[in-house]
């Protein structure tokens, strides 16, 4: 069966062709309408996605109102593919990005984020780094014009009416310390649910937090420090 007969007069062939173009456009519009409906339904709850980027960290948080906050970006460009699984195709804005520390397995994927998305604010521990990937990230952030903020204990990011993220560490200038020691540690609270995300913080930093009076650490979910390494997630901290 031929959709367009060559025996039809030219005018009729154009008319028939136009009908198929119109049908295609209507189908495309219908797809995007339903896609938007599905995305809207999905974002009526908090999303915390631990992205599969290989040997590295990349966490994506989206509040019910749609505010988005990635933490770290993994070791390579795999982050872009993973973000495509949790963000709408048409979405090219991100509210806040947090870098826990400037090691390649946490920041390499963020270079593409600043090149492809409009980012509102960038939080970092204030650790100087002269590695190639750190320099590339600095250049991408500078070109984007994104606001840079040094993360310090007590800072609070309100993502939604019932969703907030509090910085627990660092609480001082860590520029002379090991990069892992300077990891930004955050506690995400959604109603009565809490997530504790610790970057690559070692046991000495974990135990320091435990020693602080009034430090609220109890959480429903703990991301094991340093990819589950024996240098993190001490028994005292777990307790």
**Per-residue pLDDT tens digits for 78-116:** 999 999 999 998 999 999 999 999 999 999 999 999 999
Residues 88-109 as b/e (b if ≥16 CB within 10 A, e otherwise) read beeeeebbbbbbbbbbbbbbbb
Q: What is the mean pLDDT of the chain?
A: 89
Spatial CA neighbour of 168 closest among 183, 182, 187, 150: 187
Q: pLDDT class for 2, splitting at 50, 70, 90?
A: very low
Sequence-distant (≥ 6) Cβ neighbours of residue 15 within 8 angstroms = none
DSSP character string of the chain: --SS-TTS-HHHHHHHHHHHHHHHHHHHHHHHHHHHHHHHHHTTS-EEEE---SSS--EEEE-TTS-EEEE---SSTHHHHHHHHHS-TT--EEEEEE-S---HHHHTTHHHHHHHSEEEEEEE------SHHHHHHHHHHHHHT-EEEE--TT-EEEEETTEEEEEEE--S--TTS-TGGG--EEEEEETTEEEEE-TT--HHHHHHHHHSTT-----SEEE-GGGG-TTSS-HHHH-
Beta bridge partners of 68: 62
- Give residue 222's Cα distance to chain centre: 17
Q: pLDDT class for 3, splitting at 50, 70, 90?
A: very low
**Per-residue pLDDT tens digits for 183-214:** 999 999 999 999 999 999 999 999 999 999 99
The pTM score is 0.82
The sign of the torsion formed by the CA atoms of 192, 106, 128, 179 equals: positive
Give the separation between CA 91 and CA 68, rounded to whole angstroms.
Answer: 11
Does 226 score more than 50 pLDDT? yes
Give the separation between CA 208 and CA 215, rounded to whole angstroms.
Answer: 10
Does 22 score more than 90 pLDDT? no
Phi and psi dihedrals of 141, rounded to 5? -65, -45
Average pLDDT of the segment spanning 159-185: 96
Q: pLDDT class for 44, splitting at 50, 70, 90?
A: confident
Average pLDDT of the segment spanning 117-130: 96
Average pLDDT of the segment spanning 55-74: 97
Supply the pLDDT for residue 20: 61
């Amino acid at each position: 069966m031929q959709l367009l007969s060559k025996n039809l007069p030219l005018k009729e062939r154009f008319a028939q062709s136009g009908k198929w173009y119109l049908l295609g456009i209507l189908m495309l519009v219908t797809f995007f309408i339903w896609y938007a409906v599905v995305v809207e339904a999905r974002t009526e709850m908090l999303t915390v996605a631990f992205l599969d980027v290989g040997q590295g960290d990349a966490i994506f948080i989206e509040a019910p109102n749609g505010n988005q906050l990635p933490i770290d970006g993994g070791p390579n460009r795999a982050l872009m593919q993973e973000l495509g699984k949790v963000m709408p195709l048409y979405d090219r804005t991100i509210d806040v990005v947090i870098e826990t520390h400037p090691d390649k397995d946490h920041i390499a994927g963020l270079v593409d984020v600043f090149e492809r998305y409009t980012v509102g604010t960038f939080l970092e521990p204030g650790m100087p780094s002269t590695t190639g990937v750190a320099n590339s990230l600095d250049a991408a952030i500078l070109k984007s014009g994104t606001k840079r903020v040094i993360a310090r204990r007590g800072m609070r990011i309100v993502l939604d009416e019932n969703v907030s993220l509090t910085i627990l560490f660092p609480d001082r200038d860590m520029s002379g310390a090991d990069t892992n020691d300077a990891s930004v540690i955050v506690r995400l609270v959604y109603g009565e649910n809490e997530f504790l995300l610790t970057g690559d913080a070692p046991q000495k930093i974990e135990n320091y937090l435990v020693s602080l009076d009034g430090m609220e650490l109890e959480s429903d979910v703990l991301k094991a420090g340093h990819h589950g390494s024996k240098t993190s997630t001490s028994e005292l901290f777990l307790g």
